[in-house]
Chain A
Amino acid sequence: MSTPILLEAVGVEKRYDKFAALAGVDLRVRANTVHSVIGPNGAGKTTLFHMLTGTKTVSGGRIVFDGHDVTHEPDHRRVQRGMARSFQVTSLFLTLPVRENLRLAAQGTAPSHALNCWHAPVGARANADAVASVLARLGLERHADTPVGNLSHGQQRRLEVGMALAARPKAIFLDEPTSGMGIDDLDEMKRLIQGLKVEHTVVLIEHNMNIVMDISDTVTVMQLGRVLAEGLPHEIRSDDRVRSAYLGNMITGGKA
């Protein structure tokens, strides 16, 4: 029943001068699962993401992805290995249309092609298949040529996930994909993420406990730069340490 381990983090540390954002984190993510990372604000979840995806460099520890030690590789190298991430604060190419955003994301897996200053990105070079399939997945076909800055917040958050998808990654890192979303958009997002685990491995930071409990295969709880608890959703829901870390409310899904 258990799939192989795709991503392993051992003793990951991150220090900013004297402040330890991460004080030794171990994480094991199995292939084709949805692995959620939850915890109160300041627990270090996004920092952990930065370490795993290479957005920032670790102060200590080791990260192994798909059998390779990627600890010191920069983010663009890890993208080629099969990692892709979305951002907690929407960070898209606002002046460019949706289609172009996705094309760029798909193109990013073969970055040397980006140096081609002769051929235009048309025909075989346009990554059209990847773009079309993601557009369909996201339900954004009608807006393909709209500049991203003109999309609604919910549409932009979906595109954020889409950017990671377009790279056809082995592992997708979603950082609070539903942040700021309204109720209608939430269901769409939940279905989108759930559907991903067939072809990808999903690592998810979320505050929305409904979604976390419903779709996760494994839940890791962080607090103050360390792992507090890890296990199946129902185990975490009834764990006393986790309850007290959150001071009650959040686990039972009080937040929408």
Chain B
Amino acid sequence: MRKHFHLLLALAVVLVMPLVMHSGSLASEVLIFGLAAMGCNLLLGYTGLLSFGQGIFFGLGSYTIALTLTRWPLPMPLALAAAVAMGALGAAAVGWIAIRQRGTYFVMLTLAFAQMFYFMAYSFPRLTGGDNGLLDIPRPSIAVAGHTLWPLVSPWQYYGFVAAVFLVTFWFLQKASNSIFGRTLLAVRDNEERAGAIGYNLKLLKLQAFVISGAVTGLAGALHAMMTGIAPLSSAEYHTSEMILVMTVIGGTGNLLASLLGSAFYVLLGDWLSTLWPRWLLLLGVVLMVVSLGMQRGLWGLGETLWHLVRRKDRAAAAPAALGDKA
């Protein structure tokens, strides 16, 4: 029941955003980074893997969609699939090496690989546009035999597409997190040593988590590139990996939908504050520290705590006689 509840909640958010927000691009960003944060959450919240490499897969998704839509024009759905596949492949490569290490070594490796990818992107400008990135990425409308089925020209039209992709992907991720695989990941996160001792092949499990995470993050990168029209070098920067992590942690690692909360917080707060104060990231750093120190379940956890507090007050108010009985 709970997983249906989350899906309905996600649907509600998707439907409500056009009603309360002015910018279709901003709403799309919330969903796009929501996907990226969910991919990160699968690694952090479910497997216990802190990855600073999500920018690699995001960047791979961006570059792939750019190349497949401009240089070797593929139909958009195929191009998107290619971006997802590249994200998955990149994650498999990074994961295969990084997983051999545990704990802190693993975290550092993901960061080092992220830097490596950044310099690779910088050093091969013929493929990635180097410093400039890849530009003029088209946003082909969905068409069959020349008839446009679903125009994706305006920001809100594109939002509709992103929302559909988001909901389908969220549904898949939910299934995965509630599956035997997802439940086993939770065990790996809880007590890795025991999980290995009772028969699980930790490397394979972690690798699969990585591949799914990479695929979803690559998808996010591709959607973002189509939205903005560019695949910038900054997608591969440390900053991107860091921000995806920040969104995931601030939202809360307890469940997937919390990642949407985290991305909404980041995107909307950033949009509002960045015009007022260019150094708003300072505030974000402080929030990250506060969450690490005292609010580990993130905003979602905060919401849950407040909800329980409110319900307890209601119950106490509604039945004062019962308290008397206990005495």
Contact = CB atoms under 8 A, between A and B. Distances in A.
A190 interface: no
A117 B198 contact: no
16 contacts: A55-B197, A75-B196, A76-B202, A93-B186, A93-B190, A93-B194, A95-B186, A108-B198, A108-B199, A111-B201, A113-B180, A114-B181, A115-B208, A117-B182, A118-B175, A120-B175
B191 A93 contact: yes
A87 B191 CA distance: 13
Nearest to B178: A120
Nearest to A160: B194
Interface in A54-81: 55, 74-76, 79-80
A109 B197 CA distance: 11
Interface residues on A, range: 35 or more
A53 B191 CA distance: 18
A87 B175 CA distance: 33
Interface stretch (A99-107, A194-202, A204-212): A99-107
A93 B187 CA distance: 6
B103 to A, nearest CB: 17
A120 B196 CA distance: 21
B186 to A, nearest CB: 7
B183 interface: yes
A29 B290 CA distance: 56
A117 B191 contact: no
A117 B199 contact: no
| Centre residue among A93, A108, A117 by max chain B CB count within 10 A | A117
Given A79-B198, A84-B198, A111-B199, A117 B212 contact: yes
B195 A104 contact: yes
Contacts of B195: 104
A104 B181 contact: no
Interface of B: 175-176, 178-184, 186-187, 190-191, 193-202, 204-205, 208, 212
A94 interface: yes
Contacts of A79: 197-199
Chain B interface mostly? helix
A249 interface: no
Nearest to A54: B197
Nearest to A108: B199
A107 B184 CA distance: 9
Contacts of B212: 117
A94 B180 contact: no
A11 to B, nearest CB: 25
A116 B190 contact: no
Given A93-B191, A96-B190, A105 B198 contact: yes
Nearest to B212: A117
A85 interface: yes
A94 B175 contact: no
A167 interface: yes
Contacts of A163: 194, 198
Contacts of A53: 197
A92 interface: yes
- From B182, B194, B198, B200, name the one whose CB has the most chain A CB atoms within 10 angstroms: B198
